[in-house]
């Protein structure tokens, strides 16, 4: 058998049967940090890096609930045609054979106060100041708002499927809404969405099931980014996350991107500002590696 270099080896996803052509993964990076330049589009093609799997940064599914300025937004109430708006970006991302998964997100309480003074969350636990920002006091999502959110996730996934995406990746890590349901530290609900692990995992499982009902997992990839743990006292633990991952796998999640931390314990950021300041290679990086912004 011919030797294939480890990074060049393809992976076939178990449920959808879709093939990731190599082991290079462009993890989700928020488009707010994009260096997209409309006058120099040919140098901004993410696909040219040759990654087998490309995810977008988080795409909020509610225009009044952004993660940050410059986010791409998929809102069911936007007046423009979202399929036509996303089709060129999907085509560009897939132009070198990558599997392409946009990331769907709702920030919940974890949004700077200057962007949203009245955020929603699983309950009313406020995020203390961190990352040099303050955060609004959240109100707990009502049952009707939970239903609306589920409908929005499904609608956004359907739009992206029509635009040609291979699937979606749910942002269920880093302290955003799905994490706010999973975390016993944040989720103080007393209804069927709070309390036991089964209840705290209900929201994400219902979203997965609702998407799968419209977009069967043998042809549309549902992936999820989850924390291994929150790295914060009383937050989600490794043991609980392992159980949730098993439930999600059984529900039809094709693969997981495992990360960790929240804004209050930002393990995933490393010491990014220090690194950027100290690494000479970063000066060149901005010129060579550019991300797409839609
Ligand atoms: C500026 C910046 C923006 C990011 N945006 C996102 C994002 O939109 N969605 C996401 O899931 N992760 C985002 N991340 C986290 C990375 O995808 C990734 O999780 C991080 O580099 C750490 O890698 P690890 O999760 O494998 O530990 C972002 C990280 C940085 C530094």
Q: Could you tell me if 95 and 47 are in contact, meaning their C-beta atoms sit under 8 angstroms apart?
A: yes
Rounded to the nearest whole angstrom, what is the distance from the C-alpha of residue 63 to the centroid of ligand 1?
Answer: 21
pLDDT at 213 over 80: yes
**Domains of the chain with bracketed CATH:** 16-32+46-267 (3.20.20.70)
Query: 24, 29, 56, 67: which to mutate for ligand 1, most atoms within 8 A of CB?
Result: 29
- pLDDT classification of 157: cutoffs 50, 70, 90: very high
Closest-lying ligand 1 atom to the alpha carbon of residue 258 = 25
Cα separation, 35 vs 261, whole angstroms: 26
103 lines ligand 1 (CB under 6 A): yes
pLDDT of residue 271: 62
Cα separation, 127 vs 230, whole angstroms: 14
pLDDT in tens, 227-273: 999 999 999 999 999 999 999 999 999 999 999 999 999 877 766 55
Q: Is 176 a catalytic residue?
A: yes
Rg (CA), the chain: 19
Q: Where are the alpha helices (DSSP H) in the chain?
A: 82-93, 143-162, 177-182, 197-200, 202-214, 238-251, 272-278, 281-288
Catalytic residue among 135, 176, 193, 263: 176
Cα separation, 105 vs 97, whole angstroms: 25
Closest-lying ligand 1 atom to the alpha carbon of residue 57 = 8
* C-alpha dihedral sign at 61, 186, 33, 44: negative
pLDDT in tens, 47-92: 889 999 999 999 999 999 999 988 999 999 999 999 999 999 999 9
């Amino acid at each position: 058998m011919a030797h294939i270099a480890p990074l060049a080896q393809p992976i076939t996803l178990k449920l959808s049967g879709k093939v990731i052509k190599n082991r290079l993964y462009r993890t989700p990076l928020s488009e707010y940090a994009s260096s997209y330049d409309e006058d120099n589009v040919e140098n901004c093609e993410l696909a040219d890096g040759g990654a087998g799997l490309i995810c977008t940064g988080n795409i909020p599914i509610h225009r009044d609930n952004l993660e940050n300025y410059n986010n791409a937004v998929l809102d069911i109430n936007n007046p423009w045609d979202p399929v036509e708006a996303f089709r060129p970006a999907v085509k560009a991302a897939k132009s070198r054979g990558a599997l392409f998964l946009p990331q769907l997100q709702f920030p919940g309480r974890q949004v700077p106060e200057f962007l949203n003074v009245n955020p929603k969350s699983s309950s009313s636990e406020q995020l203390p100041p961190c990352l040099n920002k303050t955060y609004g006091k959240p109100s707990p999502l009502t049952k009707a708002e939970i239903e609306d959110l589920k409908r929005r996730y499904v609608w956004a996934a359907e739009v992206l499927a029509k635009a040609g995406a291979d699937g979606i990746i749910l942002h269920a890590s880093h302290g955003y809404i799905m994490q706010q349901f999973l975390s016993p530290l944040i989720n103080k609900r007393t209804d069927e969405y709070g309390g036991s692990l089964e209840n705290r995992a209900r929201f994400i499982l219902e979203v997965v099931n609702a998407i799968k009902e419209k977009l069967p997992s043998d042809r549309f990839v549902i992936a999820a980014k989850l924390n291994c743990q929150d790295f914060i006292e009383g937050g989600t633990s490794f043991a609980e996350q392992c159980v949730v991952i098993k439930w999600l796998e059984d529900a039809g999640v094709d693969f997981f991107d495992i990360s960790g931390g929240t804004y209050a314990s930002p393990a995933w950021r490393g010491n990014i500002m220090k690194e950027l300041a100290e690494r000479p290679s970063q000066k060149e990086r901005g010129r060579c590696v550019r991300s797409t912004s839609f």
